[in-house]
């Protein structure tokens, strides 16, 4: 039996492109079958053509930039607030316990439910959107930072303290590098949530521009479903691009968090912790050392098959 370890989810970009192509074909066939009204469900080819035309549409690009600026600024504020708060709460257990009730109370409140309150408090649409994105993105980053600090090896922290390092030194040299991948994961989740919130806020609060405002305008004067779906697809492209960028940042700054490279392993999965002996073949005896002792794996650990017998 051969086991293959993969370095990431899925089977690679080729299979991802195949999935996108399959979805495109399914939507195209269903839309042209006549089951749904063409005005309600436009063909995928028509949506793709409209999405291509938007690239050179100055009006759409201006609305897209309004959304991106509000989204990124709100996400940046969330990172500035959540990461230091998470480091502080994670380093002080008593403070973490005291703040836990407040976090658990505020976290489940939907951000879209606060849109009317944000309109009353901030008035200006761009400030409304930034504040809502910041609120929605705050919790994934904060909680992932806390989880990352709790996952730090206590032996490593005690070792550094034994060498005379204080709280700040332990936090900078051990806790932050260990919790870094968790923080980036929290930002990835927060980016998706923030994009949803900013478009929802634009749909509800309106304003002079934005992707949500553009989607509303496509439904005025009889409605253009192809333009609306094409605009929504560009929102999805923004989310995919943000996720890919954050994955690249994680691999660049935290290479230790990457999974093991792909490898082909022969034999039982129980042998996966040790590298295979290239001299061993099934049906042949294990090579012997000059003193007659059985060959051992690196570190002195003996290989064992699933039946517990030494190999």
More reliable by pLDDT, 32 or 278: 32
Q: Rounded to an integer, what distance in angstroms lies between the CA atom of residue 68 and that of residue 66? A: 6
pLDDT by residue (tens digit) across 185-212? 999 999 999 999 999 888 887 777 888 8
How much is the pLDDT for 70? 92
Residue 233 pLDDT > 60? yes
Average pLDDT of the chain is: 77
Counting Cα atoms < 13 Å in the Cβ hemisphere of 119 gives 12
pLDDT mean over 109-116:
86
pLDDT mean over 281-310:
48
pLDDT mean over 222-245:
87
Counting Cα atoms < 13 Å in the Cβ hemisphere of 266 gives 7
Residue 124 pLDDT > 80? yes
How much is the pLDDT for 171? 78
Q: Rounded to an integer, what distance in angstroms lies between the CA atom of residue 294 and that of residue 184? A: 46
Q: With beta carbons less than 8 A apart as the criterion, state whether 187 and 79 touch.
A: yes
Q: With beta carbons less than 8 A apart as the criterion, state whether 308 and 285 touch.
A: no
pLDDT mean over 264-287:
43
Query: How many of the other CB atoms lie within 10 Å of CB of 307?
Result: 8
Residue 69 pLDDT > 80? yes
Band (94; pLDDT cuts 50, 70, 90): confident
pLDDT mean over 47-51:
87
- To which H or E segment does residue 116 belong? helix 115-122
Domain 56-257: what homologous superfamily?
A: MetI-like (1.10.3720.10)
Identify which of 37-41, 72-76, 85-89, 209-213 has the greatest average pLDDT.
Answer: 72-76
More reliable by pLDDT, 200 or 96: 200
pLDDT mean over 29-46:
80
Q: How does DSSP assign 251-267, residue by residue?
A: HHH-GGGSPPPP-EEES
Domain residue ranges of the chain, discontinuous segments joined by +: 56-257
Write down the pTM of the prediction: 0.72
Q: With beta carbons less than 8 A apart as the criterion, state whether 250 and 257 touch.
A: yes
How much is the pLDDT for 81? 94
Query: Which range is least confidently modeled, 133-137, 199-203, 288-292?
Result: 288-292
pLDDT mean over 14-21:
76
Query: How many of the other CB atoms lie within 10 Å of CB of 174?
Result: 20
Query: Which range is least confidently modeled, 19-23, 46-50, 90-94, 273-277?
Result: 273-277
Q: Which residues contact 174 (CB under 8 A, 6 or more apart)?
A: 152, 153, 156, 157, 160
């Amino acid at each position: 039996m051969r086991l293959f370890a993969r370095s990431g989810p899925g089977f690679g970009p080729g299979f991802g492109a195949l999935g996108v192509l399959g979805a495109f074909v399914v939507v195209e066939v269903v839309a042209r079958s006549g089951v749904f009204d063409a005005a309600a469900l436009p063909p995928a080819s028509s949506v793709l053509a409209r999405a291509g035309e938007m690239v050179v549409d100055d009006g759409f690009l201006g609305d897209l930039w309004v959304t991106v600026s509000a989204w990124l600024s709100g996400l940046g504020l969330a990172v500035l607030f959540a990461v230091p708060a998470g480091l502080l709460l994670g380093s002080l257990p008593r403070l973490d316990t005291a703040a836990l009730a407040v976090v658990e109370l505020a976290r489940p409140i939907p951000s879209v439910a606060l849109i009317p309150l944000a309109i009353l408090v901030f008035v200006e649409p761009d400030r409304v959107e930034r504040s809502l994105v910041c609120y929605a993105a705050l919790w994934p980053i904060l909680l992932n930072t806390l989880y990352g600090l709790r996952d730090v090896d206590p032996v490593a922290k005690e070792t550094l303290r034994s060498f005379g390092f204080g709280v700040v030194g332990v936090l900078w040299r051990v806790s932050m590098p260990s919790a870094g991948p968790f923080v980036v994961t929290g930002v990835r989740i927060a980016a998706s949530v923030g994009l949803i919130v900013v478009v929802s806020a634009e749909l509800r609060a309106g304003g002079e521009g934005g992707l949500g405002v553009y989607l509303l305008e496509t439904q005025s004067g009889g409605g253009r479903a192809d333009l609306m779906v094409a605009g929504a697809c560009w929102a999805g492209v923004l989310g995919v691009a943000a996720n890919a960028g954050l994955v690249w940042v994680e691999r660049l700054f935290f290479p230790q968090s990457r999974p093991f490279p792909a490898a082909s392993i022969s034999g039982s999965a129980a042998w996966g912790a040790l590298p295979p002996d290239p001299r061993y073949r099934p049906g042949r005896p294990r090579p012997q050392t000059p003193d007659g002792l059985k060959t051992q794996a690196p570190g002195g650990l003996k290989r064992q098959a699933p039946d517990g017998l030494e190999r």
